[in-house]
Amino acid sequence: MILNADGLKKIYDGKTKDVYRHSDGKILLKSKDDVTGWIITEADGSTRIVEDPGANSVVGRVEGLGLKNIKSSAYYFDLFEKAGIATHYIGSDFENATMLVRDADQIGCGLECIVRYFAMGSILRAYPAYLTKGRPLHDFFEITTKDDAAGDPRISRDLLASPDFGAPMTDAQYEECRQLCLKAAELIRDDLASIGYTLIDIKFEIGRIDGHTRIIDEVSAGIMRVYKGDISVDDNKLSEEELSDILANR
């Protein structure tokens, strides 16, 4: 399958991928080599870069990362299909680092779903009085908005179903979304565990096709936090570059 962006209309310029409208109405995703994270300013005025798949800023570029992300997405979307997990995936082209997908409707103003198995990252900053770093969590599920300027805040189930806010989800749709993401996360967690890695958390983007919730976007190093071996509070998290190498060769 040859899928290049030549002559296609670009409809979105994203942090890690460009989005094009295909001639038949489908969507072409072209992955970039950009890495997201934070630029931290130290007390002495120096700066350091911390890679973070949940961050909203591009902090660097790794040659070949985009292709690795397409390869891992193809691998996991194929696994999802075999497991009956609904997605937007159609096919991919490794030579062009692209992926062809079905066009999905945005839910509300855009939503992302997070499944957490251990307390790491933003959840510690949100609930410091309730959690300690590395604490095991039991299929903890939450939804955030896609609003970079606001810091992608968490959104409650009541707000999602409230007509005061446009009611982007019914209770039944929320549960459909929750079960879909938990099943997908469990599949990835078990797949990584089989080769000695621990999935800490993962963030799925969701949309609707024909009225049903589906996992969209990509399944790559940029949406998950993975540790080497058993979880600990020490810094043994794989970098996005390390993880992309592992996922691309699954």
Same domain, 122 and 89: no
**Window from 69-73, 104-108, 231-235 with minimum mean pLDDT:** 231-235
Would you say residue 4 has pLDDT above 90?
A: no
User: Do 192 and 199 contact (CB within 8 A), yes or no?
Assistant: yes
What's this model's pTM, rounded to 2 decimal places? 0.87
Torsion angle of the four alpha carbons 232, 238, 239, 241, in this order, in degrees rounded to the nearest 10: 180
Would you say residue 78 has pLDDT above 90?
A: yes
- Which pLDDT belongs to residue 6? 76
Same domain, 18 and 42: yes
Selection from 15-24, 156-165, 217-226 with the highest mean pLDDT: 217-226
Long-range CB pairs of 229-234 (<8 Å, 24+ gap) are 229/196, 229/197, 229/198, 230/198, 231/118, 231/134, 231/136, 231/198, 231/200, 232/134, 233/133, 233/134
**Window from 50-59, 74-83, 205-214, 230-239 with minimum mean pLDDT:** 50-59
Q: Is the residue at 249 inside a domain?
A: no
Q: Is the residue at 77 inside a domain?
A: yes
- Which pLDDT belongs to residue 49? 59
Per the structure, the complete domain to which residue 166 belongs is given by 111-239
Split into its structural domains, the chain has a count of 2
- Which pLDDT belongs to residue 151? 78
Percentage of the chain beyond pLDDT 70 is 90
Last residue of a domain, one of 45, 76, 101: 101
**Window from 90-104, 197-211, 234-248 with minimum mean pLDDT:** 234-248
Q: Is the residue at 16 inside a domain?
A: yes
Last residue of a domain, one of 101, 135, 169: 101
- Which pLDDT belongs to residue 195? 95
CA angle 98, 91, 11 (to 5 degrees): 45
Same domain, 163 and 202: yes
Q: pLDDT tens digits for 106-163? A: 998 889 999 999 999 889 999 999 999 999 999 999 999 887 777 788 999 998 888 8
Q: Is the residue at 246 inside a domain?
A: no
Residue 249, judged by CB atoms within 10 A of its CB (0-12, 13-18, 19+), counts as exposed
18/60: higher pLDDT: 18
Rounded distance between C-alpha atoms, residue 52 and residue 95, angstroms: 27
Same domain, 180 and 62: no
* CATH number of the CATH domain containing 83: 3.30.200.20
* CATH number of the CATH domain containing 135: 3.30.470.20
Would you say residue 33 has pLDDT above 90?
A: no
Last residue of a domain, one of 82, 101, 120: 101
- Which pLDDT belongs to residue 216? 96
Residue 249 DSSP symbol: T
Same domain, 52 and 70: yes
Same domain, 156 and 222: yes
Same domain, 233 and 115: yes
**Window from 55-64, 84-93, 128-137 with minimum mean pLDDT:** 55-64
- Which pLDDT belongs to residue 99? 94
Mean pLDDT of the residues in the chain: 87
- Which pLDDT belongs to residue 228? 92
User: Do 33 and 63 contact (CB within 8 A), yes or no?
Assistant: yes
Q: pLDDT tens digits for 36-59? A: 766 666 677 666 656 665 566 676
